[in-house]
Amino acid sequence: MTTTSDAVPDARTVAAELSDAGVAGVTISWADNNGIPRSRTVPVSALPRVAETGIGVTTLFAVFDSSDAITYAHEGLSSPSGDVRLVPVLDGLVPLAGQPALAWAPGRILDADGAPWPYDQRAVLERQVEELGKAGLTALVGYEIEFGVYAEGGPDEFVPAHPGPAYSPHALLAVDEFMADVLRDFTANGLEIGQLHAEYGPAQMELSLAPSDPVTAADRQLLARQTLRAAARRNGLRLSFAPLPAQAAAGNGWHIHSSVWRDGRNLLAGNQEGPGAEGAAYIAGLLRDLPAVAAITAPTLGSLARLRPGFFAGAFAFWGVENREAPLRYVPGSKFLGSDHANVELKTSDASANPYLALAAVLAAGAAGVADELSLEPPVQADPGSWSEKERAEQKIALLPRTQAEQEAALTGNPRIPAVLGDDLLGAFLAVRRSDAAAAEDRSPDDVLAGLRWRY
Ligand code: GLU
Ligand code: MG
């Protein structure tokens, strides 16, 4: 396939190659403000035209809430009129191993004149990467993806496809054919798996994706979902990517590992005390803005339900070295692993975040820390959840926002992160969050989680 990133692929050539390979259609996908993938599919013959001028889609996708209700509460998008153009990014196009009639491409959304559309989340991340570049920095990002595997069934059926034990090969035997398809299809779709295992609860699995530049990492996070779902369907299984599929289920974190680099040097490189000055400033920047960042990386009612102390989900705001209860877990390199391995993991992140916005928020917060030359307090190696209120107050460790209103206040009150989204997108994003919260008002927590279970 002509999909290398060093040359802009020519749509006609790509279409001809796809056609020769028996591919009939191209699915163009993006993620909305709820982290829900949306798409349009075109026949391969239409690709050259669509690659140039896109497909018409409603502006209202920016104000769909988590249950597909449209909110008109955001002033900029308060009417049913308006159309924008969804354009495939040919650089990211891959024929889908698990769906042989289709190729997949990430989409960007332009306004009707082909100019940037302020609600396009992918452009927000592209901008942020550019900003980093101006400061002489590049970033590497890798996602860890946790999900539940269930038997296919009606909307209310919820039968784990593996019984555990946690991390056991015996658990995986129950989903052996699915796992084999995942391994093969990921490779065929150009997704490099770091490792794959049975996670903590019944039904839960995890895989990690190899690090890449941020925009590619977000594109691949979406492609990974498509690839996983196709493999599950073929094997009579159903996946939940929801942050918390049910109160009693294990939470699904979609942890973000990031490192920043200057002149080919990993600034996160360090030891058990932490990274060097600039890497420490990056973590300090993340910590400073964490309540606002989490409002974007773990933004939904499902996210808030997942963020329970004691579940390795990152509920208290602090950092630690290899501390799995910390929302910011510093992973130092070592003599054995090399300094390139060093990174910081954000655990307060899940599939209900738009991946482009999530990475943009993370990089903006971290880069601001570097620009401001922040210093970092010593790491916390214990679980602050086991401390008294008084001890936590002494160490200045607080819970991250627990409600939609608290998250909104943390985000709008932050001096840096709102500007990353821009006023229009921020307005739409918050309107959607309020719409979700209002719809949940007269529903039980169980009911809300059940409604989100299969959405991502
Ligand atoms: N399942 C946990 C979460 O909700 C994470 C467990 C782990 O540290 O891998 O994020
Ligand atoms: Mg895990």
pLDDT at position 9 over 90: no
Residue 170 sits in the same domain as residue 317: yes
Which amino acid appears at position 20 of this protein? Answer: D
Average pLDDT rounded to a whole number, residues 169-185: 97
Residue 300 in domain: yes
Tokens of 305: 């339900």
Examine the fold and report which residue of 78, 95, 117 is the final residue of a domain before the chain moves on.
Answer: 117
Which bound ligand lies closest to the C-alpha atom of 314?
1
Residue 420 sits in the same domain as residue 392: yes
pLDDT at position 252 over 80: yes
Residue 359 in domain: yes
Residue 182 sits in the same domain as residue 108: no
Residue 97 sits in the same domain as residue 38: yes
Q: Which atom of ligand 1 is nearest to the CA of 204?
A: 1
User: Which of the four pLDDT bands, split at 50, 70 and 90, describes residue 250?
Assistant: very high
CATH of the domain at 407: 3.30.590.10
Residue 2 in domain: no
Quick count: other Cβ atoms within 10 Å of Cβ 408?
A: 18
Residue 146 contacts residue 253 (beta carbons within 8 Å): yes
Tokens of 208: 């990690």
Please choose from 304, 311, 323, 352 the residue to mutate so as to test ligand 1's pocket, defined by most ligand atoms within 8 A of CB. Answer: 311
Q: What pLDDT, on a 0 to 100 scale, did the predictor assign at position 236? A: 97
Residue 1 in domain: no
Task: Summarize pLDDT for 154-175 with one digit per residue, the tens.
Answer: 878 899 999 999 999 999 999 9
Q: How far is it, in rounded angstroms, from Cα 174 to Cα 185? A: 19
* Closest protein CA for atom 10 of ligand 1: 253
* Closest protein CA for atom 7 of ligand 1: 312
Residue 138 in domain: yes
Q: In sequence order, which residues have a C-beta less than 8 Å from that of residue 125 and are 6 or more positions away?
A: 214, 215, 218, 356, 357, 359, 360
Collapsed DSSP state (helix, strand, coil) of residue 195: strand
Q: What pLDDT, on a 0 to 100 scale, did the predictor assign at position 156? A: 80
pLDDT at position 1 over 50: no
* Owning domain of residue 339: 127-452
Task: Summarize pLDDT for 429-452 with one digit per residue, the tens.
Answer: 999 999 999 999 999 999 999 999
Residue 381 in domain: yes
Average pLDDT rounded to a whole number, residues 172-180: 97
Please choose from 143, 146, 247, 256 the residue to mutate so as to test ligand 1's pocket, defined by most ligand atoms within 8 A of CB. Answer: 146
Residue 325 sits in the same domain as residue 213: yes
Q: What pLDDT, on a 0 to 100 scale, did the predictor assign at position 285? A: 98
Pocket lining for ligand 1, CB < 6 angstroms: 146, 200, 250-251, 253, 306, 311-313, 324, 347
Average pLDDT rounded to a whole number, residues 63-68: 98
Residue 122 in domain: no
Q: What pLDDT, on a 0 to 100 scale, did the predictor assign at position 189? A: 98
Q: What pLDDT, on a 0 to 100 scale, did the predictor assign at position 333? A: 85
Residue 448 sits in the same domain as residue 346: yes
Task: Summarize pLDDT for 282-336 with one digit per residue, the tens.
Answer: 999 999 999 999 999 999 999 999 999 999 999 999 999 999 999 999 999 888 9
Examine the fold and report which residue of 99, 117, 135 is the final residue of a domain before the chain moves on.
Answer: 117
pLDDT at position 5 over 80: no
Q: Which atom of ligand 1 is nearest to the CA of 244?
A: 4
Tell me, in angstroms, the distance from the centre of ligand 1 to residue 41's CA.
Answer: 34
User: Which of the four pLDDT bands, split at 50, 70 and 90, describes residue 104?
Assistant: very high
Residue 15 contacts residue 1 (beta carbons within 8 Å): no
Residue 297 sits in the same domain as residue 207: yes
Average pLDDT rounded to a whole number, residues 229-239: 98
Number of domains in the chain: 2
Q: What pLDDT, on a 0 to 100 scale, did the predictor assign at position 8? A: 64
Residue 262 in domain: yes
pLDDT at position 2 over 80: no
Examine the fold and report which residue of 117, 148, 172 is the final residue of a domain before the chain moves on.
Answer: 117
Average pLDDT for the chain? 96
Residue 283 sits in the same domain as residue 260: yes
Residue 408 contacts residue 438 (beta carbons within 8 Å): no
Residue 113 sits in the same domain as residue 141: no
Residue 421 sits in the same domain as residue 311: yes
Q: What pLDDT, on a 0 to 100 scale, did the predictor assign at position 323? A: 96
Q: What pLDDT, on a 0 to 100 scale, did the predictor assign at position 7? A: 57
Task: Summarize pLDDT for 26-37 with one digit per residue, the tens.
Answer: 999 999 999 999
**Quick check: bond before 100 cis, omega within 30?**
no
Task: Summarize pLDDT for 351-407 with one digit per residue, the tens.
Answer: 999 999 999 999 999 999 999 999 999 999 999 999 999 999 999 999 999 999 999
Residue 262 sits in the same domain as residue 343: yes
Q: What pLDDT, on a 0 to 100 scale, did the predictor assign at position 347? A: 98
Q: What pLDDT, on a 0 to 100 scale, did the predictor assign at position 176? A: 98
Residue 202 has what DSSP assignment?
T
Q: What pLDDT, on a 0 to 100 scale, did the predictor assign at position 44? A: 98
Task: Evaluate the CA torsion angle 217, 220, 224, 226 in order and state its sign.
Answer: positive
Of all residues in the chain, what percent carry a pLDDT higher than 90? 95
Q: What pLDDT, on a 0 to 100 scale, did the predictor assign at position 25? A: 98
Q: What pLDDT, on a 0 to 100 scale, did the predictor assign at position 213? A: 98
Residue 309 sits in the same domain as residue 337: yes
Return the exposure string of 70-90: e unless at least 16 CB atoms fall within 10 Å of the residue's CB, then b.
Answer: bbebbebbeeeeeebbbbbbb
CATH of the domain at 107: 3.10.20.70
Tell me, in angstroms, the distance from the centre of ligand 2 to residue 207's CA.
Answer: 8
